[in-house]
Structures are given as C-alpha cells and as structure tokens.
C-alpha cells in the first residue's frame, strides 16, 4: 500500500504546507511528516546528511553564488530545527555534478571533515578531491588538500568519509590508471577505475599513504560506509572483467582492508555505469545494504548480515519495474531497516520509504514527497534523528530549492 503524506494538491510538487493536514497512516510505523525549513534553502541543491547520535546531525548542500561560484554550506540539527547555515568553502573552479556531491561529516563533536571536488583545467572529467577540517564543530574551516597524491589529470570522486577509532578515514573512486578521457571514455590501453582509501590525521591531511582497496570498480556509482562492532565497512559497485556490475563490500580490520564480498550475485551485465550506488547502515555486528540493480528489469533490493558484512542473506525485493533507485537506508534498534528510493509514479517521480526486517516483514511504503526523475533532482537523503527520520531532497527547476522533512518513528 502506498500512502501520500498529505491531501494538498501541491504535494507532488513539493512538501505540503504546514497548515494542510497530513493523511493518517493505516500502518503507523511513521508519524506525519513535517516540513523543516532550511535557512538559505532557495538555490540549494544536492544535500547530504551525516552524523547522528551521539554525534551532531549535519546537513550539507551546494549553494550557487554570483559569478559562477558555488559554496559548500552546512547546518546542524538542534531542537527540531536547522541552525543558521555556515559556509565551509566556495570557488568558481569546482566540479559540480548531480551524482557526485560534497559532504560534511562529524568525526567527533568538535572534529569535522568536509570534501568537495575541484576542477583541473583542460578536461571536464579531470578533478581532485579537496578536504577541509574543522576543530570547533564546524564554526571555522582549514583546507587540508587532496587525500590522493598521484597528480594525474583524471577523475577522483564519489567520496565517503567516516570515523575510525576517533580518526577520520576517506575512500573514493580513483581514475589515476584510466588515462583520463571525456565522459569516462578511458584512453586506449589504460586501466580501470579503482577504489582507494586513506587515514587522515587531526589536520585533515593523509597520515601515511593512500592505498588501493579494489583494482577495478564501476566508474561513477556512489560509495557508502558504516561502522560495525568489528570496524568500518564500505560498499560500492564492483566491475568484473565480463562487465557484471554487482554490489561489493569490504571490511577494515586492524588497519587492513579485506577482499571484496559480493552482497548478492545479481548478474547485472551492463557496458556503462548506471550512476546508482548502494547504501549501507550498521548496528553492532548487524549490517544492511540497499541497492539498485537491473539484470532483467529495474529493482531495489536489500540484504542483511549478522556477521559484520562477511556474509549476507538472500536479498529482499523492495521495488521493481518502476524503480529508479537512488537509495538510502537506516537500521533501527529493533532490527528493522528503512529503505528510501525513487519510483516513477503516474504523475511523476516519488520518494518512497518502507521498513522491512530480515524475515521479510514489511510496513506500508510511504510517499515522502513528489520529485523529478531528472538528474537535477539529485539523490534524496535519509537519516535517523531524535527518534525519527529526517529526509532531504532537491526540488529541481530553474531555481532549485532544498527541502527537508521530519517524522517520528512509531
């Protein structure tokens, strides 16, 4: 059953006005959604949410400025509202992409890390990851430079930043072996996109050297990370020699990355990147991964692990046929996962959310908001906060607008 969150006619264009009463849910796993204004949300796009209990919950996004500049902005969730936004950095030479968006991530209450992509001259698909660090909870920022030192005019992006024993770590897709090229057309005889990672020091700079984690990955699907009782895990879209591009997971234990584990052998053979990465969440040794695949028709799937990502259950189908992907996932204390994804509806694309547990017991899917299937709508975000769920997404248009909403879990 699909449930719309309100009866207002404007719902599918944006979240309903606060004065319009949301419809009651026949399956009360989620309370009514409330629009949460984002200061400076006009012109904002491509949100990212990070942190959460016990860390601050931080929303970051891109804002356009005069003269072709863009700025990475951030706000903190406090007492059911967003703080006034702060600017991490800005520039006129950034690589701005609907699928490869910046982030601000708290590693501790005071130690925060941020990243964005800076263009290299001469080739639109040559850009570097730039890291900045804050030691006062996001009030002030210092540039730390890229986590990679290869210096090649190639792609570096699709970054995940996460905490590892109180320090920051970063993983990214790295094109140093690809020889560059437009639109991911690698130079003749060049190698593959790789997954690399690095430990960052207190100043945000690489402590030691970056390391290759996987020597052949899909070129432009997002990575994601979570922390288990056994250490961090990272998920990404792998790329086999036969162009099968299924979801893989690696674990970091005692400073060493494991060999990749395929979450499920979907057997999706595709000769191009689908630009549709996985999402992961963890509690203790429980791990859940959600992803998009299309070996026969479009599908959104979720799989559970009880051994910190070493093995996974058979996948459960969340959506199929009209699924567009762009997934996110959270793991609740009671063992349920909530998956969000995009679906092509009769009157446009919709952001849906649905709870499911490892026994395949499900709650009703809820339509969080109407959106657009176009690239400019980006990748919706979902996070746990104060006993409920936060959602963030971009309303595409000539003047994009950032939206967020909150609902309590029941």
SS3 annotation, 160-184:
EEEEECCEEEEEEEECCCCCCCHHH
Give all domains of the chain, ordered by start, each with its CATH number. Answer: 48-338 (2.120.10.10)
Tokens of 214: 């996987």
- Residue bearing tokens 């404007």: 10
Handedness of CA 135, 141, 142, 143 (dihedral sign): positive
Judge residue 140's burial from the number of C-beta atoms within 10 Å of its C-beta, 0-12 exposed, 13-18 middle, 19 or more buried.
exposed
* pLDDT tens per residue across all 410 residues of the chain: 333 333 222 233 333 322 233 344 446 899 999 999 999 878 899 999 999 989 999 999 999 988 889 999 999 999 999 999 999 999 999 999 999 999 999 999 999 999 999 999 888 889 999 999 999 999 999 999 999 999 999 999 999 999 998 899 999 999 999 987 666 666 666 799 999 999 999 999 999 899 999 999 999 999 999 999 999 999 999 999 999 999 999 999 998 999 999 999 999 999 999 999 999 999 999 999 999 999 999 999 999 999 999 999 999 999 999 999 999 999 999 999 999 999 998 889 999 999 999 999 999 999 999 999 999 999 999 999 999 999 999 999 888 999 999 999 99
Q: Which residues contact 9 (CB under 8 A, 6 or more apart)?
A: none
Query: What CA–CA distance (Å, rounded) separates 78 from 334?
Result: 25
- Residue bearing tokens 């936060």: 390
**Strands (DSSP E) found in 215-322:** 224-228, 231-237, 247-253, 256-257, 261-262, 279-283, 286-293, 299-305, 316-320
Tokens of 345: 């509806």
User: Quick one: which of 6, 85, 83 has its CA closest to 42?
Assistant: 85
Q: Are the CB atoms for 399 and 54 separated by under 8 Å?
A: no
- Residue bearing tokens 């719309």: 4
Judge residue 399's burial from the number of C-beta atoms within 10 Å of its C-beta, 0-12 exposed, 13-18 middle, 19 or more buried.
exposed
How many CA within 13 A on the CB side of residue 55?
A: 23
Q: Are the CB atoms for 115 and 75 separated by under 8 Å?
A: no
Q: Are the CB atoms for 355 and 332 separated by under 8 Å?
A: yes
Query: What CA–CA distance (Å, rounded) separates 157 from 152?
Result: 13
3-state secondary structure of 66: helix
Q: Given strand 401-408, what is the order of strands in its sheet?
A: 34-35, 401-408, 388-395, 381-385
Paired with 197 in beta bridges are 171, 211
pTM of this prediction?
Answer: 0.92
């Amino acid at each position: 059953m699909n449930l719309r969150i309100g009866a207002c006619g404007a719902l599918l264009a944006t979240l309903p006005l606060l004065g319009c009463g949301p419809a009651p849910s026949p399956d009360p796993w989620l309370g009514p959604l409330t629009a949460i204004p984002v200061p400076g949300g006009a012109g904002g796009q491509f949100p990212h949410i990070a942190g959460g209990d016990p860390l601050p919950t931080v929303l970051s996004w891109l804002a356009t400025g005069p003269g072709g500049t863009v700025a990475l902005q951030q706000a903190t969730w406090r007492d059911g509202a967003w703080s006034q936004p702060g600017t991490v950095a800005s520039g006129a030479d950034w690589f701005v992409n609907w699928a490869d968006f910046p982030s601000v991530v708290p590693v501790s209450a005071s130690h925060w890390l941020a990243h964005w992509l800076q263009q290299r001259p001469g080739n639109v698909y040559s850009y570097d990851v730039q890291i900045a660090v804050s030691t006062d909870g996001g009030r002030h920022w210092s540039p730390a430079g890229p986590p990679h030192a290869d210096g090649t005019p190639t792609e570096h992006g699709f970054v995940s930043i996460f905490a590892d024993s109180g320090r920051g770590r970063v993983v990214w897709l790295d094109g140093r072996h690809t020889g560059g090229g437009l639109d991911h057309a690698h130079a003749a005889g060049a190698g593959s996109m790789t997954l690399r990672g690095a430990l960052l020091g207190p100043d945000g700079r690489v402590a030691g050297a970056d390391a290759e984690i996987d020597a052949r990955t899909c070129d432009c699907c997002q990575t994601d990370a979570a922390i288990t009782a056994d250490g961090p895990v990272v998920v990404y879209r792998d790329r086999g020699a036969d162009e099968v591009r299924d979801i893989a997971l690696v674990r970091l234990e005692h400073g060493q990355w494991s060999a990749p584990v395929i979450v499920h052998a979907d057997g999706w053979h595709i000769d191009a990147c689908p630009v549709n990465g996985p999402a992961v969440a963890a509690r203790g040794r429980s791990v859940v991964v959600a992803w998009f695949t299309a070996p026969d028709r479009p599908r959104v799937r979720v799989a559970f692990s009880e051994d910190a990502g070493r093995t996974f259950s058979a996948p459960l189908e969340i959506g199929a046929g009209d699924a567009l992907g762009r997934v996110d996932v959270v793991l609740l204390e009671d063992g349920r996962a909530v998956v969000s994804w995009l679906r092509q509806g009769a009157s446009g694309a919709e952001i849906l959310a649905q709870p499911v547990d490892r026994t395949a017991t499900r709650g009703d899917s809820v339509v969080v908001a109407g959106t657009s299937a176009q690239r400019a709508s980006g990748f919706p975000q979902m996070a746990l906060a104060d006993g409920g769920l936060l959602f963030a997404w971009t309303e595409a248009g000539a003047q994009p607008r950032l939206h967020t909403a909150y609902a309590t879990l029941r």
